[in-house]
């Protein structure tokens, strides 16, 4: 059996893309090597730590840490994967629509089912709409974050639920609070929530709007909810997987 060695990195949304690609594109035993050598220092999600328990070998660790496979993505349009004997090394974000062109509906359906099992998402939305306002790592300064938050809040329909990646900024910003009160918006605070907590919260909504968050993307996909994002590539991948959801009916 092949060993599918995935160098995971980034937040939970990115990690899900990386694991999902390995699931649907290759058959074999998935092994995760997580890299947190970034400013944000995102850790491997607990759900993945407990589900994929086998460790990489010393030689696999060296290859992952060297970032050799990542160069494929940086220097070309090819899929960032390299096969060495019975080992396949994956190191990328795996968010491009074209990367999934050779995947069968059966493999997609199996991969989505496995992700729901790992993440504990049941696919039973009982709330109407949620707006996810991602601020913390999308903008460089508090001034930019504050302005973006005000614009997003002002654009929402009255009585809309929303969550943010920077609750403190929104609560301390008088202009944001004025908009929230005037439009009767519902701010669901997520301080202390893990990424798994947030994706499960999102998955209780029938419609999710986001400024291109991959976490919101996966909440909508796994829950078969509607997704509103501006990124054209994410829209294409979402429609591809939504068709699989409608075909398989979970």
8 A C-beta contact, residue 39 and residue 223: no
Is 157 inside any structural domain?
A: yes
* Cα–Cα separations (whole angstroms), residue 11 to 189, 222, 247: 19, 17, 29
134 shares its domain with 70: no
* pLDDT for residue 99: 94
* pLDDT for residue 37: 82
Is 112 inside any structural domain?
A: no
Here the tokens at position 154 are 């002002």
92 shares its domain with 152: no
80 shares its domain with 157: no
* pLDDT for residue 138: 72
Q: What's the structural domain count of the chain?
A: 2
132 shares its domain with 244: yes
| Alpha-carbon radius of gyration of the chain | 19
69 shares its domain with 156: no
99 shares its domain with 131: no
* pLDDT for residue 2: 94
Closest CA to 131 of 185, 76, 78: 185
* pLDDT for residue 177: 96
pLDDT means over runs of 10, the chain (250 residues): 95 97 96 86 93 95 91 83 95 94 94 95 89 82 89 95 92 94 96 94 95 94 94 96 71
Tell me the residue range of the domain where 236 lies.
Answer: 127-248
* pLDDT for residue 36: 85
52 shares its domain with 132: no
143 shares its domain with 203: yes
8 A C-beta contact, residue 248 and residue 222: no
* pLDDT for residue 142: 85
pTM flag (> 0.85): yes
């Amino acid at each position: 059996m092949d060993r599918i060695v995935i160098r995971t990195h980034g937040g939970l949304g990115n990690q899900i893309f990386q694991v999902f690609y390995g699931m649907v594109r290759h058959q074999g035993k998935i092994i995760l090597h997580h890299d947190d050598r970034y400013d944000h220092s995102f850790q491997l999600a607990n759900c993945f730590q407990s589900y994929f328990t086998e460790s990489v070998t010393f030689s696999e660790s060296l290859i992952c840490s060297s970032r050799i496979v990542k160069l494929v993505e940086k220097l070309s349009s090819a899929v960032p994967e390299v096969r060495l004997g019975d080992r396949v090394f994956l190191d990328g974000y795996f968010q491009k629509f074209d990367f999934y062109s050779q995947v069968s509906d059966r493999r997609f359906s199996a991969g989505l089912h496995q992700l729901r099992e790992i993440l504990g998402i049941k696919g039973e939305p009982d709330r109407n709409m949620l707006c996810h306002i991602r601020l913390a790592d999308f903008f460089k300064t508090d001034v930019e974050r504050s302005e973006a938050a005000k614009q997003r809040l002002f654009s929402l329909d009255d009585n809309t639920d929303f969550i943010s990646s920077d609750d403190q900024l929104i609560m301390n910003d008088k202009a944001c609070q004025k908009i929230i009160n005037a439009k009767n918006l519902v701010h669901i605070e997520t301080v202390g929530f893990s990424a798994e907590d947030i994706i499960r919260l999102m998955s209780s909504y029938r419609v999710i709007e986001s400024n291109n968050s991959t976490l919101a993307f996966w909440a909508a996909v796994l829950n078969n909810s509607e997704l509103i994002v501006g990124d054209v590539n994410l829209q294409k991948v979402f429609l591809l997987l939504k068709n699989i959801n409608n075909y398989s009916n979970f």
